[in-house]
Amino acid sequence: MCTDAGGLFPLVYSEKLDALASTTTAMELVAKQRQSEASGELLDILRLIGWIPFGLTTFEGVRRLLPNFYLDISSSVPVRFYAPDGIINPDTSASVNGVLDRLRANIGAIIRGNAGFVHLTGGWDSRMVLAAARPWASECVFETVAGRGTELDCHLAAGLASKYGLKHELLPFVSPRQEEMEDWQYRVGYCLTDAVSRLGPTARAYDRNYHCINGVCGEVARAYYWARGYSGTEKIQPDELLERLGIPESPLMLREADNWLSSLGERRPTQILDVAYIEQRLGCWAGPSVFGHKVAYPTLSPFNSRAIYRLALALPEDARINNRFARALVLQAWPELLRIPINRAEGISKLRFAKQELKYFARAIGAKELVTTMKGWKTRRLKLFRPVS
């Protein structure tokens, strides 16, 4: 038994109950669940970072099946499908074409199967999807959620639509009521609390009754956890993995990180961080959100493909840092799209988005560490690992 390549149709399992379910809440239909001894710590992590890593759940004996694993029914032991073999394909052009071909095949299949509704933002993953969707662009409806914090996305999406004749719709954000937030948490199994949990009423209000397309999983080709390159030469240690994932250290988290690293064996550090993105970020963050929205059909990502992940993990490191791979793919598929900046306004419009411009320049100067001092606190070093975009 397994889930899809990125865990976007998630599963949890219990060896004791010999049971599988889509969510921990659904597991309650099999038997009454008890909170695990670590549930208090996991709920603290949930409040802090918005998701629970390493396939852990707050229920005793129930774990999440990570993507890239299948569950051996006879033993209830999860087995990894594949791990990077360390071989690098220096032919970046062939890799770009390989990913692009699979993106187009997946997008075409979704659109032919129902209709073309595509989420459009100002970021790299959205731009890659738009570029790959070029053969169907005239048939698609591109949509952007309009609300607090999405002003730049709306501005850039509208600019793309105007310049390239796209049918574009702004979807005003619908604020969730408390009971709707509680219902969303029940549906996902109380394991995700970040911003996506507030989108339930918006998704329901604009339900298309078709699969929509988004760019989730595109970060696999964009070095999500080592965007500015990886300077370490030694084997990644559990504490460094936790720091990269943004997870606070504790005996439990260090033990889980060590077990996960051990399961991969000797691999290049950057490949380990890429697998961490797939198995941890996608499997434990993106996947659980699928069941939260009360819509007819879930949103699909054309990047969610084991073949695409294999191609991405075999790319040379310098082909991905600073979004080089993403840029190469857009240049190959629809180069004119790069006339509109990624996650940046242009011209006089920059004045409207001064905060984003300051963030861009802070990243552009290559500052990897910021030192902050708070009264009564020791000085702490905060490392930045998010991609430049």
Q: How many Å apart are CA 223 and CA 109, to the nearest integer?
A: 27
Is the pTM here over 0.85, yes or no? yes
Q: How many Å apart are CA 265 and CA 275, to the nearest integer?
A: 12
Q: How many Å apart are CA 248 and CA 255, to the nearest integer?
A: 13
Task: Tell me the pLDDT band of 73, cut-offs 50, 70 and 90.
Answer: confident
Q: How many Å apart are CA 247 and CA 270, to the nearest integer?
A: 18
Task: Tell me the pLDDT band of 364, cut-offs 50, 70 and 90.
Answer: low
pLDDT above 70 for 377? no
| Average pLDDT of span 272-301 | 93
Its CATH class, for the domain covering 83-389, is alpha beta
* Range with the largest mean pLDDT of 73-77, 223-227, 289-293, 325-329: 325-329
Q: Provide the token pair at 17.
A: 């109950």
Interval 102-126: pLDDT, tens: 999 999 999 987 779 999 999 999 9
Q: How confident is the model at residue 231, as a pLDDT?
A: 66
pLDDT above 70 for 140? yes
| Average pLDDT of span 335-351 | 90
Interval 251-279: pLDDT, tens: 999 999 999 999 998 888 888 999 999 99
3-state class of 366 per DSSP? coil
Query: Over the chain, what is the mean pLDDT?
Result: 88
- Could you tell me how many residues make up the chain? 389
Q: How many Å apart are CA 228 and CA 213, to the nearest integer?
A: 28
Range in 130-144, 272-286, 319-333, 340-354 the model is least confident about: 340-354
Interval 170-226: pLDDT, tens: 999 999 999 999 999 999 999 999 899 999 999 999 999 999 999 999 999 899 999
Range in 3-12, 156-165, 221-230 the model is least confident about: 221-230
Q: How confident is the model at residue 375, as a pLDDT?
A: 32
How big is the chain by its Cα radius of gyration, in Å? 21
Residue 180 is inside which H or E element, if any? helix 178-188
Q: How many Å apart are CA 10 and CA 362, to the nearest integer?
A: 37
Q: How many Å apart are CA 363 and CA 320, to the nearest integer?
A: 17
CA atoms within 13 A on the CB side of 173: 16
Q: How many Å apart are CA 293 and CA 187, to the nearest integer?
A: 8
3-state class of 166 per DSSP? coil
Q: How confident is the model at residue 197, as a pLDDT?
A: 92
Q: How many Å apart are CA 110 and CA 103, to the nearest integer?
A: 11
